[in-house]
Copies of this chain bind each other. A is one copy, B any other.
């Protein structure tokens, strides 16, 4: 038994002996039945005290792989599970947490088929127009950013985000009437991450969260995944019905109120000024924070802008979330939040254990877009293009939709919210529409309370005008066929390879 002891090693000698023999057993060098040398003999061979070997053998016996009997010596015993031939022994299902189960259930519940054929026109995803991406400016911004910053673009960065970018984002928000500071801003890897961070520091299983009904799917998934009790407050054309909210606040004392007040996802509804004031007053009276999710606020195509909740707030109770995904380039995963300092501190602490910091290069490229005025110019180009696409979709619906179908007329944002003719279910239509080569998102996906089965969400920003018309025409063909030949709800769902955004 050729054991090399290292007397400079801090590991005690008896443990070095144990380590050597256990390795030998694991490697098959000492198969079952191998006799270990008598203690006295091994001690002499190694030049150690006998008590050292006694201690080593005692620990070896404790592992169960070595047996000792007085008068019979010490030997390696059979491994009850033959490692080489055993089936995989990790039973993952027994290891996952209840949270993993909730996350799974939440994701499965809202699954939709995202496997479109190439010829399918997708009116489903909430994507900006790829044909309008500012690619030339991006190329130029990378060049300028590399020239200005060099290696700094690629180093580890601050947890809350690169300070010059946070300053620019604060200035960007000031233009929208929200006065905040760089200290109150956290740069995010997508605004979903902001919802996740806020949920992590504010929501435990069983906590209540107010949501609009219907609302953004990703928020529902995050809150459900955290085990939150969802308290739905219905929407109408003027946003969340505040007079219903108060009774909810009194009864349930939620952790926060989650709202998309402007060009809401999925309905396109915008909360009236009166309700904005009333919401802030109520939230303040009951000491409940508001999470204002504002991905579409810069995309108004007509009518007067309304102030953000964060602009009206005087009580420090609004956490404002926004994103570059709807006005710039979604694949870059750039978003930010502005929040009271205790919240910023809590999520910055949490983030050190989550993803450490946002992409340094992407932050600097965005900084270049902001400081050169390219982002403002890009949005100024998007507004009329998206307004035209909305109008094209409205006109196509007016031309093709069957009687009994109605839809919203949003003043901005990404979506039309359609109510199907009586008796038609959105899930059944989705199956029919897939055959026809068009996809959308069925309304029940956005519902915290089982509603929306006769609604669908249509995106009007992601396709060119001709495709929008053709998509609506195909949808109407599918719908008329379904009305002639009704089927029950499709129950089959396919795992979402791409997110619903």
Chain A residues engaging chain B, CB cutoff 8 angstroms: 6, 9-11, 15, 18-20, 22-27, 59-60, 62-64, 79, 81, 83-84, 86, 88-93, 95-100, 103-104, 106-108, 125, 127, 130-131, 133, 135, 138-139, 142-143, 146, 150-159, 189-190, 192-193, 195-196, 200-204, 207, 218, 221-222, 225, 236-238, 241-244, 246-247, 255-256, 272-275, 277-278, 280-282, 284-289, 314-317, 325, 329-333, 340, 342-343, 345-346, 349-350, 352-362, 496-499, 501
Contact = CB atoms under 8 A, between A and B. Distances in A.
5 contacts: A19-B238, A24-B274, A100-B201, A106-B353, A159-B499
Contacts of A159: 496-499
Given A63-B247, A106-B353, A349-B107, A154 B331 contact: yes
Contacts of A93: 342
Contacts of A361: 329, 331-332, 362
A343 B246 CA distance: 42
B156 A501 contact: yes
B130 A139 contact: no
A182 to B, nearest CB: 13
B97 A203 contact: yes
A497 B158 contact: yes
Contact of A332 (B60, B127, B218, B360): B360
Contacts of A282: 26
Given A190-B355, A362-B361, A83 B285 contact: yes
Contacts of A501: 156, 356
Contacts of A272: 23
A95 B356 contact: no
Contacts of A349: 100, 103-104, 106-108
A480 B307 CA distance: 62
Contacts of A135: 146, 150-151, 154
Report the copy number of this chain in the oligomer.
2
Given A104-B349, A330-B360, 7 more contacts: A86-B284, A89-B285, A103-B346, A127-B156, A135-B150, A156-B325, A356-B499
Given A99-B200, A192-B356, A349-B103, A154 B142 contact: no
Interface SS of chain A: helix, strand, loop or mixed?
helix
Contact of A218 (B287, B356, B362): B356
Given A88-B315, A89-B285, A225-B353, A330 B156 contact: yes
Contacts of A358: 333
| From A93, A193, A273, residue with most partner B Cβ within 10 Å | A193
Contacts of A143: 139
A278 B26 contact: yes
A95 B346 CA distance: 11
Contact of A247 (B62, B246, B342, B362): B62
B343 A196 contact: no
Contacts of A362: 359, 361-362
Given A24-B274, A236-B11, A359-B359, A103 B353 contact: yes
B287 A91 contact: yes
A253 to B, nearest CB: 10
Contact of A221 (B15, B98, B329, B352): B352
Contacts of A83: 281, 284-285, 315
B90 A287 contact: yes
A22 B277 CA distance: 10
Nearest to A319: B90
A7 to B, nearest CB: 13
Contacts of A131: 151
A59 to B, nearest CB: 7
A195 to B, nearest CB: 8
A405 to B, nearest CB: 15
A11 B213 CA distance: 13
A436 to B, nearest CB: 24
Contacts of A498: 156-159
B151 A133 contact: yes
B236 A10 contact: yes
A30 B151 CA distance: 60
Nearest to A163: B497
Nearest to A21: B243
A132 B52 CA distance: 50
Nearest to A334: B359
A143 B131 CA distance: 19
Contacts of A221: 352-353
B156 A125 contact: yes
A181 to B, nearest CB: 16
Given A86-B284, A225-B353, A285-B83, A27 B274 contact: yes
